[in-house]
Amino acid sequence: MTAARRTLTPTDLAPYARTLGHTLDGVTRLRGGSKKGVYRLTFRDRSTAVAYVWSPDEDLWDAGPADPRDPFSHASGLDLFTAAAHRLAAAGVRAPRLLHADPSHTHLPADVALVEDLPGGTLEDLLDGDAAVETGVLERTAALLDTLHACTGPRFGKVAVVDNGGSSYGGSCEAVVAERALSDLDELPARDPRAAAAHPQLAEAIGALAAQVQPRTGPPTLIHGELGPDHVRVTPDGDLALIDIEGLMYFDVEWEHVFLRQRFGRHYDALRTDDTVGLDEARLRLYRLATHLSLVAGPLRLLDVGDFHDPEFMRGIAEHHLGLALSFLESAS
C-alpha cells in the first residue's frame, strides 16, 4: 500500500504562481484527483488558478508502467492532459483553459499544469434539485455531447497517441473491451467467493457477447471515457466544461453511453441525442457487462494499493457492480 499523500504547501507551489506573474497567498487541496493532485492557488490579488500535479506520490493507483497505445491504460499525465485540452478546444468543447505546463521537474519531482479556476460547482451538484434548472443544464449537456461525438478519429486509441501519429494498438474496440473484461474478471475470484463461483459463467458470457458484435466500418468517435456528472463543471453563467480529460480517446460511442447511463441514472434519457439513434445493441450489452466488472475490479484494486479517503464508498461501488454483473447472468439465462 502506498503511503498517505502529503499535501503540497504554499512553499512548494509558489514558483508556479510566479510563472503567471502572481504572488501566492494560499493553497487548498480540492476534492477528487485519485490520479493527480488538484490544488486551488489563491493569489495576493484574490484571483485564483488550479494546479494539477502528476507524481507517484499523488497517484493512489500505483499502476506502474502502462502501454500508452492501450486506450484503457492508466490515464494520467501531463502529455495526456495537454493533448486532450488541445483536441477539445479544436472540437469547440470547453475544458479548463491551460495557463502553463511545466514538465521540467525544476520545482517539484512532478509534471505540473496550471489551468483556469472555473467558478461554480459540478453538474452533479445541480441534479436532484430544481426541475427547471435540471432541464436546462441537461439540455446543454446533451448539446455538448452532440458536439463532442460529432468528432471522429482515424483509428481508436488515446487522443495523445492517435493525434501525434503513434502506432495503433491493433484489433477492434470490441476485442479490446472483451480482453479487458476477462482481465478484470480474473482478478475477482481471489477477492470474493461469489465472483469465484460465477467466474466460468461470466467468462462464457463475455465471449458470447463479443461474438455477437458485428465489425464496424465507420471511424471511431471522440469520447471522454468516464463522463459522469462530477466531470462536468457548470459556471455561474451556465457554461459547461469537461474536467478529468486525460482519458479522452477515439472509441465506440457505445462505451460513452454505457458509462453515461450508469452515472446519470434517471437523468440519462435527457441526454439522448442524435448519436443514440444508431447505437449498436450488441456492443451495448458487451460494454455494459465489461463496465460492471471494471467497477468491481478497479475500486478493489484502489483499496489494495491506495490511500483513498473514503474506503467504504469504494467498497460500495464494488459491491453494487458485482451484484449487477451477477444479475446480468440471471437476465441472460
Mean pLDDT of 115-137: 89
Mention every residue, 6+ apart, whose C-beta is less than 8 A from residue 236. 119, 120
C-alpha cell of residue 3: 503511503
pLDDT of residue 100: 97
CB 227 within 8 A of CB 259: yes
pLDDT higher than 60, residue 333: no
Which of 3-12, 205-214, 303-312 shows the highest mean pLDDT? 205-214
Residues of the chain with CATH 3.30.200.20: 10-117
Residues of the chain with CATH 3.90.1200.10: 122-332
Q: What are phi and psi of 218, to 5 degrees?
A: -75, 165
pLDDT of residue 332: 65
Mean pLDDT of 152-179: 93
Q: How far is CA 255 from CA 24, 154, 251, 258, 310, in A?
A: 41, 18, 7, 5, 27
C-alpha cell of residue 131: 426541475
CB 105 within 8 A of CB 111: yes
d(CA 329, CA 7): 44
pLDDT higher than 70, residue 237: yes
pLDDT tens per residue across span 282-331 = 999 999 999 999 999 999 988 887 667 788 999 999 999 999 999 988 87
pLDDT tens per residue across span 22-38 = 999 999 999 766 889 99
pLDDT band at 1 (very low <50, low <70, confident <90, very high): very low
Mean pLDDT of 180-190: 96
Q: Does domain 122-332 have CATH number 1.10.1060.10?
A: no
pLDDT tens per residue across span 61-101 = 766 667 878 999 888 899 999 999 999 999 999 999 999 99
pLDDT higher than 70, residue 219: yes
- Whole-number average pLDDT of the chain: 92
Q: Print burial letters for 235-264: b (CB count within 10 Å at least 16), e (below 16).
A: eeeeebbbbbbbbbbbbbbbbbbbbbbbbb
d(CA 328, CA 297): 17
Domain 10-117 class in CATH: alpha beta
